[in-house]
Chain A
Amino acid sequence: MKLLLLWVPLVLVPLVIHNNVVLTILIFTYLLGILAVSFNLIFGFTGQLSLFHAAAFGLSAYATYLAMAHWGVPFWLGMVVGVVFVSLVSLVIGTICFRFNLRELYFAIVTLAFSELFRLVILNWNSFTNGSLGINFTLTPTLWIPGRGVVPVQGTMMWYYLSLVAVVLAVGFYSRIVHSWMGRCFASIRLNDDLADTLGINVFRYKLIAFVAANAGAAVAGSLYSFYISYIDPHYFSIDQSLAIIAMALLGGSRYVAAPIVGALVLTALPHVINVNAEARLLIYGLILILTILVMPRGIVGVLVTGLRRPSRAPQTPERPRHAA
């Protein structure tokens, strides 16, 4: 509850800073924050490196828009379609991966393979998805606001508060899970899944739940993000996007539910804050990744909480024996 107070200043930001650019950067931070926070459920808390997250993000964006365009449903129902669709897809992919006990690198590569396959289908199914040209949205989400009735969501202010509410809900949802008995099951899988198994925890089931719940968050983020930009194309699925999500989670701190939002902020703002040429920016990005791992493996929030000193000699070393796969 005390942590909830940390969000209050963010509510006040637009009242103090009348700068559209800063607000836009924050909107992207919140929307990508949802993506990174949800990713961290499967990555940081359950210990499975999924490379399907960007695909879940993109699939939901397409599903939402196509449901609206073809069935005429309103945005929020479209988002439900997106989330349900992504959850079903995740259920199938998760079942395949976890039933066959694909671990670590194998899991990462197979989820990457599935996300590439989806990207190729979206890219080449021209009649339905408009292929590489993408889809320009002509539809807008609407909201019911007391006193004003149903209004379209547009303008920086409305999007700011919508995305802020969404990210707070997402953090609430995931922190509820992480700090419950279910979160303990996830942690046990991350730290030692063989032990978890002998303690009666159904590793398969909880991996699957984590995977689906994480991807459902990505689906929400995808629907909102695509409607904020009003445009989707197959780049949503790109490997770069998946890597950026990992970078956000690690940079923010993968041991804390809300920390990836800090990572999202840094990576979203950085290109606009540091005014250097493209080559130097790429260089800085690379150095940030390297330094994050080597100097502050607990991320920015970890540094703020515990200082730069590593909490122990062997940070993040996997406890299961090598070559477990």
Chain B
Amino acid sequence: MLQLVVGQLLNGVIVGTLYAIIALGVTLTFGITGIVNFALGAFMMLGAYFTWYFSDGLGIPYPLAVVLATLAIALVGLVADQVLFRFTRNNLINGLIVSIGLISVIVAIVLMVWTTTPQNMHYVLPGVFRVGGVIVPKMKAVVFGVLLLVILFTYAALTRTWAGRAAYAYAQNPEAAALMGVRTKVLQAGVAAYSAALAGLGGGLYASLYSITPEIGAGYILKGVEAAILAGIGSVMGSFAGGIIIGVAEGVGSIFLPSAYNDAYGLVFLVLILLFKPAGLFAVSSR
């Protein structure tokens, strides 16, 4: 029993980092552009398809395929931001509806190109680590490592570099930041592209673990938004923690409770936390 719980704790943490990478994109986009971009889920799906196509279709080595897919998705995110989301800045509902429209468009295009048949990439790194009865697939460990590095890098970039501090200042107070010389438009476009890239990277790594269908984005964006809100939107390390909390809640929850309610465990957590800390777990009270 202990092995089961420890195993799922570990697995929940790993699965949670995939939620966290989306949550991070959600949090950054929200902080800088004032909208919640649900299309990040679709970007993630697209990232998975691109990686699979580059790797299995064109024969590019997997790590390079992930990098290429990430860059491609960053571009997609940038274009979407300039063509669509530029007009919905700071309007939550309009941004939400446009992003839902964009999801439909992306899914339609993917269906036209790759059909509804699920795609499966070759095994990049098969096999498992066994530590005292606890089993962790090797690839999952790698995915966790990469995502953790990216999240830490993002955190460092936001706190240690001028661009990061500018973004942070902007999220706190747009007017003041603009007066301080932050170029709002460049900053917003940059963050939109970076958030998309995070989603694309998440998709690229996802492709090495699971099968790919046009619907995968929907589940991940919901978990991502849940994670971002759980933590208190705006906090980088909070998104990370939020993703892990949801991942662990699902993993450990389905051991003790019926697995059919798997999606509920994270939600219950979310509701409870919001009731006791309405601005999220790690938020500094705004009032």
Stretch from B11-19, B85-93, B123-131, B237-245 that touches the partner = B85-93
In contact, B271 and A114 (Cβ under 8 angstroms): yes
Complex contacts, B90 vs chain A, CB 8 Å: 317-318, 322
A104 interfacial contact with B, CB 8 Å: yes
Complex contacts, B36 vs chain A, CB 8 Å: 105
In contact, B94 and A286 (Cβ under 8 angstroms): no
Interface residues of A in 274-308 (CB under 8 A from B): 278-280, 282-283, 285-290, 292-294, 297
Which residue on chain B has the smallest CB distance to residue A250?
A: B97
Which residue on chain A has the smallest CB distance to residue B234?
A: A323
B278 interfacial contact with A, CB 8 Å: yes
Which residue on chain B has the smallest CB distance to residue A286?
A: B104
Interface residues of A in 253-283 (CB under 8 A from B): 278-280, 282-283
B268 interfacial contact with A, CB 8 Å: yes
How many A-B residue pairs have C-beta atoms within 8 angstroms? Tell me. Answer: 118
In contact, B91 and A318 (Cβ under 8 angstroms): yes
Which residue on chain B has the smallest CB distance to residue A243?
A: B100
Per the bound structure, the CA–CA distance linking A104 and B35 in Å amounts to 11
In contact, B97 and A292 (Cβ under 8 angstroms): yes
B261 interfacial contact with A, CB 8 Å: yes
Complex contacts, B264 vs chain A, CB 8 Å: 116-117, 120
Per the bound structure, the CA–CA distance linking A323 and B263 in Å amounts to 28
Which residue on chain A has the smallest CB distance to residue B30?
A: A105
Complex contacts, B233 vs chain A, CB 8 Å: 105
Complex contacts, B226 vs chain A, CB 8 Å: 109, 113
Interface residues of B in 243-279 (CB under 8 A from A): 258, 260-261, 263-264, 267-268, 270-271, 274-275, 278-279
Per the bound structure, the CA–CA distance linking A318 and B42 in Å amounts to 27
In contact, A290 and B98 (Cβ under 8 angstroms): yes
In contact, A278 and B111 (Cβ under 8 angstroms): yes
A142 interfacial contact with B, CB 8 Å: no
Complex contacts, A323 vs chain B, CB 8 Å: 286
Complex contacts, B108 vs chain A, CB 8 Å: 279-280, 282-283, 286
Interface residues of B in 99-116 (CB under 8 A from A): 100-109, 111-112
B34 interfacial contact with A, CB 8 Å: yes
How many chain A residues sit at the interface, stated as a range, is 35 or more
Cross-chain contact of A289 among B104, B112, B225, B278 (Cβ < 8 A): B104
Per the bound structure, the CA–CA distance linking A297 and B94 in Å amounts to 8
In contact, A110 and B274 (Cβ under 8 angstroms): yes
Interface residues of A in 76-115 (CB under 8 A from B): 96, 100-102, 104-106, 109-110, 113-114
In contact, A293 and B101 (Cβ under 8 angstroms): yes
In contact, A124 and B260 (Cβ under 8 angstroms): yes
In contact, A290 and B34 (Cβ under 8 angstroms): no
Per the bound structure, the CA–CA distance linking A297 and B93 in Å amounts to 11
Which residue on chain A has the smallest CB distance to residue B109?
A: A283
Q: Known contacts being A96-B275, A279-B108, A323-B286, is A247 close to B97, with CB within 8 Å?
A: yes
In contact, B97 and A102 (Cβ under 8 angstroms): no
Per the bound structure, the CA–CA distance linking A246 and B92 in Å amounts to 13
- Within the complex, what minimum Cβ distance (angstroms) separates A295 from chain B? 10
Complex contacts, A243 vs chain B, CB 8 Å: 100
Q: Known contacts being A49-B93, A114-B271, A283-B105, is A106 close to B260, with CB within 8 Å?
A: no
Cross-chain contact of A316 among B94, B98, B268 (Cβ < 8 A): B94
Q: Known contacts being A109-B226, A117-B264, A124-B260, is A286 close to B87, with CB within 8 Å?
A: no
In contact, A282 and B111 (Cβ under 8 angstroms): yes
Per the bound structure, the CA–CA distance linking A280 and B222 in Å amounts to 25
B84 interfacial contact with A, CB 8 Å: yes
Cross-chain contact of A123 among B93, B102, B260 (Cβ < 8 A): B260
Per the bound structure, the CA–CA distance linking A243 and B99 in Å amounts to 12
In contact, A117 and B174 (Cβ under 8 angstroms): no
A150 interfacial contact with B, CB 8 Å: no
Q: Known contacts being A117-B268, A318-B90, A323-B286, is A279 close to B274, with CB within 8 Å?
A: no
In contact, B103 and A286 (Cβ under 8 angstroms): yes
Cross-chain contact of A110 among B102, B260, B271 (Cβ < 8 A): B271
Given A102-B274, A286-B100, A290-B101, 4 further pairs, Cβ under 8 A: A117-B268, A279-B112, A294-B84, A317-B90
* 22 A–B contacts from the bound complex (CB under 8 Å): A49-B92, A49-B96, A101-B278, A105-B36, A106-B278, A109-B229, A113-B267, A114-B271, A116-B263, A120-B264, A124-B261, A239-B222, A278-B111, A279-B109, A282-B104, A283-B109, A286-B105, A289-B104, A290-B101, A294-B87, A294-B98, A316-B93
